[in-house]
Amino acid sequence: MKAFLRFLAFIALAIGLGMPMAAQQPAPATPVEQPLPASTGPSTVKIGLYINDIQSIDLHNYSYVADVYVWFRDSDPAIVPGSSFEWMNMFAPDDHVQTATYDVPQPQPDGSEYQVFRHQGPFAAKFSILTYPFDNHKLTIEIEDQEWDAGRLVYAVDEIAMNHNIELPGFIIGKPTLEIVNKPYPTAFGDLANPTAAPYSRAIVSIPISRPILSGITKALLPVFIVVLVAAAALLLSPSHVEARVGLSITALLTLVALQFSAMAGLPEVGYLLMIDQVYLASYGFVLLVVALLVMTTRQEDKVQDSGAQDSGADVVARGGPLTALLAVLLYAAIIGVVLWANLDYAARAAV
């Protein structure tokens, strides 16, 4: 019995000594989430676009309507480029519609996050019609982040593609390009926290379009050349047919005026002289030259009939005929050639 009591006392002593020791043991520490280290340097954001459609071009308002897809892919959890980008050359912002394919960025196999949007609306474009009807244009789409400057976010080209079934009546569509540039600003936009003006990374999509050369020749230049040849035909008639000669030249002049008004109706008002305007001015000059020769021919014919004198070489040219008509047409063709070459060369050098 005593042995049993000693055994119980030993157990009670062991329990009494163990409980304080257990109480003194520290509890396991609860893990605390540590904040992510701040990113240093710019983050690279992959950007790509797909040109789904170009619906119309308005030369008068310097705009065009496009339907495009744009996507972003980045690996920086501190930025969400799909929520902070903006379209820099929107025209009529209320007419734009944008939808997101996903509500939140989607994880990618390489650890990055992906966002894609479909955007439809008109974009501004500065069209130059100096070389009409052989004018070339670039339809541009410009994208920039409105929150992060180039010191924090830099775009990089992922892909640029276009729907091969796009048709733009009156134009030939070239291959689009995507360029990344740093756009500087001369102001900090009043931000006292960051008073130093910094550039922003900008993605610029360029879609080249041009008018078909054959179409420009047949629609804009050929009618003018035909009218000029009709005016030159007045020089082939005998000086005795004064009414017919004058009638041809005056009709040609009025037709040129009507053609110019018709050609200018589809073009915007500009302050510079177009190539087609210079062609019409040269054509007016040709018709006036024909009229001047007709007047000289009539006076010379009257002089010959009154005095019976023989014509000199200069008088033969002044009286008209195939030689006079040929020389006049060759002079006109040379002037038109100089006009076309000068304008196209200037446009080519300005594009470089």
Q: Which CATH architecture has domain 214-351?
A: Up-down Bundle (1.20)
Binning the chain into helix, strand and coil, the percentages to the nearest 5 are 40, 25, 35
What pLDDT is attached to residue 35?
Answer: 44
Residue 82 and residue 105 in contact, taking contact as beta carbons nearer than 8 Å: yes
pLDDT at 33 over 80: no
What pLDDT is attached to residue 198?
Answer: 87
Q: How far apart are CA 201 and CA 199, in angstroms?
A: 7
Mean pLDDT of 164-168: 93
**From the CB of residue 220, how many other CB atoms can be counted at a distance below 10 Å?**
18
Residue 185 and residue 196 in contact, taking contact as beta carbons nearer than 8 Å: no
What pLDDT is attached to residue 190?
Answer: 86
Q: How far apart are CA 96 and CA 121, in angstroms?
A: 4
**Closest to 154 measured CA to CA, from 238, 9, 39:** 39
pLDDT for 335-344, tens place per residue?
999 999 999 9
Percent of the chain with pLDDT over 70: 82
Instruction: Locate the domains of the chain by residue range.
Output: 43-211, 214-351
Q: Max Cα separation, the chain?
A: 176
pLDDT for 44-91, tens place per residue?
999 999 999 999 999 999 999 999 999 999 999 899 999 999 999 999
Mean pLDDT of 154-177: 94
> Which pair of structure tokens corresponds to residue 288?
């006036």
Mean pLDDT of 248-262: 93
pLDDT for 60-71, tens place per residue?
999 999 999 999
Q: Is residue 307 very low, low, confident or very high in pLDDT (cuts 50, 70, 90)?
A: low
Mean pLDDT of 217-245: 88
Q: To 10 degrees, what angle do helices 275-307 and 322-351 make?
A: 160
- Maximum average pLDDT range among 123-127, 315-319, 320-324: 123-127
Mean pLDDT of 246-275: 91
What pLDDT is attached to residue 211?
Answer: 93
What pLDDT is attached to residue 34?
Answer: 43
Question: 25 to each of 17, 20, 28, 166, 285, how far by Cα in Å?
Answer: 13, 9, 9, 76, 109
Cβ-in-10-Å burial (0-12, 13-18, 19+) of 58 comes to middle
Least confident window among 6-15, 82-91, 195-204: 6-15
What pLDDT is attached to residue 320?
Answer: 63
Give the three-class secondary structure for 303: helix
Q: How far apart are CA 183 and CA 204, in angstroms?
A: 11
pLDDT for 126-157, tens place per residue?
899 999 999 999 999 999 999 999 999 999 99
Chain mean position to CA 316: 55
**From the CB of residue 105, how many other CB atoms can be counted at a distance below 10 Å?**
20
Q: Domain 43-211 class?
A: mainly beta
> Which pair of structure tokens corresponds to residue 203?
């993605």
Q: How far apart are CA 62 and CA 55, in angstroms?
A: 14
Mean pLDDT of 187-216: 90
- Containing 155, the helix (H) or strand (E) segment is strand 153-162
State the chain's mean pLDDT as an integer.
84
